[in-house]
Amino acid sequence: MKVTQIKPDHRRHDRFSVLSDSKKMYTVTYEGCGDGDPDVVHLWSCNCPAYKYTRDGLCKHIAAVVQYLDD
């Protein structure tokens, strides 16, 4: 997968485009941290079908962005 940070616009969220292995483009958005929970929950969203239908709110595109940011 190829991850690219989208140039910031008037919104305050960080956005990334992810070109999947199937050659489809998805957008991953970082919306900030959780509500003060000691386990600091980061809030991510993705516009792929897997994200919409998973209970844990994760998908491989979000994982790819997190890995991209860690590198």
The structural domain count of the chain equals: 1
Q: What is the pLDDT of residue 34?
A: 64
Q: What is the pLDDT of residue 52?
A: 85
Top pLDDT among 1 and 41 is at 1
Residues in the chain, overall count: 71
**In this structure, what token pair is assigned to residue 10?**
């008037």
Q: Which domain holds residue 9?
A: 2-70
**Contact in structure between 30 and 44 (CB atoms under 8 Å):** yes
Asked if pLDDT for residue 66 goes beyond 80, the answer is yes
**In this structure, what token pair is assigned to residue 48?**
């792929």
**Max intra-chain CA distance, the chain:** 38
Alpha-helical runs (H) found in the chain: 49-53, 60-70
- For residue 39, give Cα distances in angstroms to 33, 34, 35, 36, 60: 10, 9, 10, 8, 21
- pLDDT digit string, tens, across residues 21-61: 899 999 998 877 766 555 555 788 899 999 888 777 789 99
